[in-house]
Each structure stands twice: as C-alpha cells, then as structure tokens.
Amino acid sequence: MDVYFPEKRRSYEQGFAGQKNLRIVSNIGPILALGALLSLTVPLGALTSTGQTAGHVQISDVLFALVLLLLAAKLGGELLERWRQPPVLGELIFGMLLGNLTLFGYSGLEAIKSHPGIAFAGEVGVILLLFEVGLESNLHELLDVGKSAALVATLGVVAPMLLGYGVSSLFLEESAWYVHLFVGATLTATSVGITARVLKDIGKMDTREARIILGAAVLDDVLGLIILAVVTALTASIASYGAAEISAIPILTIILKSVGFLAIAVILGRSLAGKVLALGSRFRVRGMPVVLTLCYCFVVAGLAELVGLAPIIGAFAAGLVLDETHYRGYRCMNSIKIGEILSPISSVLVPVFFVLIGLRVDLSSLFSFPTLKFSLFLCIAAVIGKQVCSLGVLEKGLNRFVVGAGMIPRGEVGLIFAGIGASTIVGGQAVFGPDIFSAVILMVMVTTLAAPPLLSTLFRINNPAQE
C-alpha cells in the first residue's frame, strides 16, 4: 500500500522531515527570519506588470512575483508542517494573506493575481500535481482493491454531491443550477495525499480501514475527475448555447468520453510510453528522462483538453501509466524514483498553484454572515456526506467511523475543483463568484484541518489496547 503515500514527493527533505515530524514547534526563529525576508520581497512583487524599459521586454516583474509566491508558499507550508497540519493549507493561508493586503490599504500585489505568466506557471503546477497523484496510484492495486473500497468511493461521491447541491440551492436561491452542481462536485473530492500522510503519521497504514480508505480515495480521484468533466462540459455548453439540454444523452456522452479517454490513454499509453522511454534511453544527450516524462505528461494533458476534458484528467492518466520498469534503460535512474525526476520542477510550480488559489480568496467576503453560514452548512454537508460512505464497508468488525473520517479531507483536490469553478466563465460571470469561492475554500480548509485530529482520536477510541 506504500504506493499511495506521497513520500516520494518529499524526497529532498525526506531525511529530516521524517525525523522531526512529530515534534511540536520547537524553534520559531527561522520562520520569523524568512517572514522578514518575505515582507522585504512584497514591494518587489509589486513591480509586476510595470511594463518595459526602452527596447527590451522586462522580465524582472515576473521573476519577483514568482519569488514572492514561492517564499510565501514555503513559509506557510513550514508553519503548518510544524503544527502537524498539511503544508498545502499553509500555502493557501499565506496566499490569502498576500492577496488580501488590500484590506490594509496595500494594493501593490493586485497585478500578480491576473498575470498570464504566473497563471501559466500555476496551471503547469496543477498538471504536474495530478501527474504525481497518478504516479502514486498503482493501476493494479487500484483494480484489485476490494468491493468495499468501490462501494465506499461511490457512496462518497453520490452523497456529498446531493447534499452539496441541496445546501447550495437552499442558500443561493438566485444562482443557476450549474452553480449548485459545481458546489456539489467540489464536495465529492477526497484528498488521497492528506489522508495517507495522516495514516502514516499515526502508524495505522497497515490496518484494513486504512486500505479501504486509500483504495476508495484513489477511486474517488477518478470518479471526481469524471464528475468534473461532466460538470465543466455542461457549463461550457451553457456558455456556448445559452442553455444546456438537461437530458441523459449529453451527460452519458461526456461520461463515456471521459471513461473512454482514460481507458484509451491508459491502454495506448502503457505500450507507447514504454516504447518512447526505451527509445530515449539510447540517447546520449543529458536530461532525456526529465524531458520525455514531461513531454508525455504534457501531450496527454493537451489531448485531454482537445477532446473537451480538463488537462488534469490527461495528466492523471499519464501518471497512472508510468512506472519504474519504463526507466530500466536509464542507468542514471537506478537509484531514483520517477516521482523524483520531476520533483524539482513540481516543488517549484505546485506551490505556485496553491498560493494563487489563496490569492484569489477575498477575505472581506468571509466577514459577511450569510457567506459564513453558507460555508458552515457546506462543512456539515461535507462531513455527513462522507460519513454516509462508511455504509459501503462490507466487512464486519471494522470501525466505520474511521473510514468516514478518513474520507473527509478535501485537500488539494477540492481546491482544484474550486479553482476551476472560479475560472469558468458563463455569460460573462464566473461560476463561483467571490462569495461562493470564499465559502467553498473555507469548507475545504475546515475539512482538511479537521480530519487529522479526528482520525487519530477515532483510531484511539476504537483500539485503546494498541496505543
């Protein structure tokens, strides 16, 4: 089951991160110092989009903006890591802080939010993230995972979808049905990475509950991506034709297209990727594994977009296909896992994506009581929705609450859905306006923060003898 654990993403700091993982905040000095550094770079970031000097296009603005986002990501990630929380939340929170400096009268960073170069870096970041998630999901183990996991995953998608749709239509009376659909879709997400991390931290990775949770969470990724495809395609058809025919046929078409694309990408990919990589291993120029891996990921992601799906679906399919055996021909790869080849690139671009999501959260909209109330009910729907899925556990004698709790964190997957909701435009308006976006992000944060303590408490209550 080790494949699910995103340890390989953390290859560089593996050694000391693992060792110090369980200490509580021991030394705040470096954080304060990097914080000071960050505050120094804020005015530099403000230079973004100041234009050109005579004759030559300026790129210092983009460079400074990238530095600012990267430092914010690492500082936020570090703080949350020290509080034994998922670092992605720190990236989000620091993005929110930077993005809401306007509340304190500082609007120098507004240009970063819509800078095309930065946005592209973030887009590639999320593509690489889904590629890595795909890499970590072993296809065979995925297919072999018990009926329980499949049932848990299905229930864990259907229940939150319905509840989310319900809460949304209750609170957002004047919004269109596709907004409710998008809210529901965001609620279906489950973050494999965060759950796996928590299970490993509390030493419960080899329990049957953990196996079911992780199997279901990986299946959830696939189901979630299909739902995303359906929802975005429906919204796109509204954007194009003014209204979508809500009949079963177009929805079925999209589902078939998604499943078909995933199937073709996986089947064709398995033989093709192997051949291309074997070919590359006979090359002598440097960087072939990195370049070919990246090209493969980009081509499948791009093809997914061409057939009308989200690029991340293609990236996931690309990652699902590759495994160590494809790299046998590369001597340099003997001691390196695939995830590590792209690790330097993804460790730079993935945080950019999450800080950008944070940047776009309008904190002032959270100060309104209706938004907070909406978000609270979303949280309740999110928790109940995933508790329902524990009914899918067929085995007897297992702790169903643990399974339900393990499915709660929305994590990065929820953020990706929310981000797509905010960047999808229908009739000149984003599907997720600032209020809905903020409420959804708050829900993602609450569920992600709540899961780790909840999970370890529930495990402890169930098996006090093991403690």
Residue numbers 305-344 binding a copy of itself by CB under 8 A: 305-306, 308, 311, 330-332, 341-344
Task: Candidates 66-74, 101-109, 145-153, 396-404: pick the segment binding a copy of itself (CB under 8 A).
Answer: 66-74
User: CA distances (Å), 128 to each of 72, 108, 135, 188, in order?
Assistant: 20, 30, 10, 22
- Provide the 3-class DSSP secondary structure of residue 44: helix
* Cβ atoms of residues 136 and 8 within 8 Å: yes
The DSSP annotation for 370-416 comes to: HHHHHHHHHHHHHHHHHHHGGGG--SSSS-HHHHHHHT---HHHHHH
Touching a copy of itself, residues 352-411 (CB under 8 A): none
Phi/psi at 430 (nearest 5 deg)?
-70, 145
Q: Which is nearer to a copy of itself, 424 or 456 (CB)?
A: 424
Task: Candidates 31-39, 169-177, 187-195, 456-464: pick the segment binding a copy of itself (CB under 8 A).
Answer: 31-39
Q: Which is nearer to a copy of itself, 81 or 221 (CB)?
A: 81
Q: Which is nearer to a copy of itself, 318 or 403 (CB)?
A: 318
Rounded Cα gap, residues 437 and 183, in angstroms: 9
* Cβ atoms of residues 361 and 91 within 8 Å: no
Q: Which is nearer to a copy of itself, 194 or 212 (CB)?
A: 194
Q: Which is nearer to a copy of itself, 41 or 365 (CB)?
A: 41
With binding defined as CB under 8 A, does residue 175 bind a copy of itself?
A: no
List beta partners, residue 430.
425
Task: Candidates 6-14, 140-148, 194-202, 317-325: pick the segment binding a copy of itself (CB under 8 A).
Answer: 6-14
What is the smallest separation between the CB atom of 250 and a copy of itself, expressed in angstroms? 14
Task: Candidates 202-210, 237-245, 355-363, 393-401: pick the segment binding a copy of itself (CB under 8 A).
Answer: 237-245
CA 192 to chain centre: 9
Rounded Cα gap, residues 162 and 118, in angstroms: 35
Rounded Cα gap, residues 401 and 157, in angstroms: 17
Touching a copy of itself, residues 405-464 (CB under 8 A): 420, 423-426
What is the smallest separation between the CB atom of 140 and a copy of itself, expressed in angstroms? 27
**What's at 357, amino acid-wise?**
I
Q: Which of 43, 203, 260, 302 binds a copy of itself (CB under 8 A)?
A: 302
Cα 448–Cα 452–Cα 455 angle in degrees, nearest 5: 120
The token pair at 30 is 């470096």
Q: Which of 46, 62, 210, 321 binds a copy of itself (CB under 8 A)?
A: 62
Q: Which is nearer to a copy of itself, 148 or 235 (CB)?
A: 235
Q: Which is nearer to a copy of itself, 47 or 372 (CB)?
A: 47
Q: With left for phi above 0 and alpha for psi between -120 and 50, is residue 395 left, alpha or beta?
A: beta
Q: Which of 59, 143, 243, 465 binds a copy of itself (CB under 8 A)?
A: 59
Q: Which of 4, 5, 46, 71 binds a copy of itself (CB under 8 A)?
A: 71
163 contacts: CB under 8 Å, gap ≥ 6 = 184, 187, 381, 382, 384, 385
Touching a copy of itself, residues 115-174 (CB under 8 A): 116-117, 119-120, 123-124, 127
Task: Candidates 5-13, 214-222, 365-373, 458-466: pick the segment binding a copy of itself (CB under 8 A).
Answer: 5-13
Q: Which is nearer to a copy of itself, 332 or 384 (CB)?
A: 332
Q: Which of 294, 366, 442, 455 binds a copy of itself (CB under 8 A)?
A: 294
- Provide the 3-class DSSP secondary structure of residue 367: coil
What is the smallest separation between the CB atom of 44 and a copy of itself, expressed in angstroms? 7
With binding defined as CB under 8 A, does residue 42 bind a copy of itself?
A: no
Mutual orientation of helices 338-359 and 411-423 as an angle, nearest 10°? Answer: 50
Task: Candidates 278-286, 378-386, 404-412, 442-450: pick the segment binding a copy of itself (CB under 8 A).
Answer: 278-286
Sign for the CA dihedral angle at 310, 92, 360, 62 comes to negative
The token pair at 265 is 């990408």
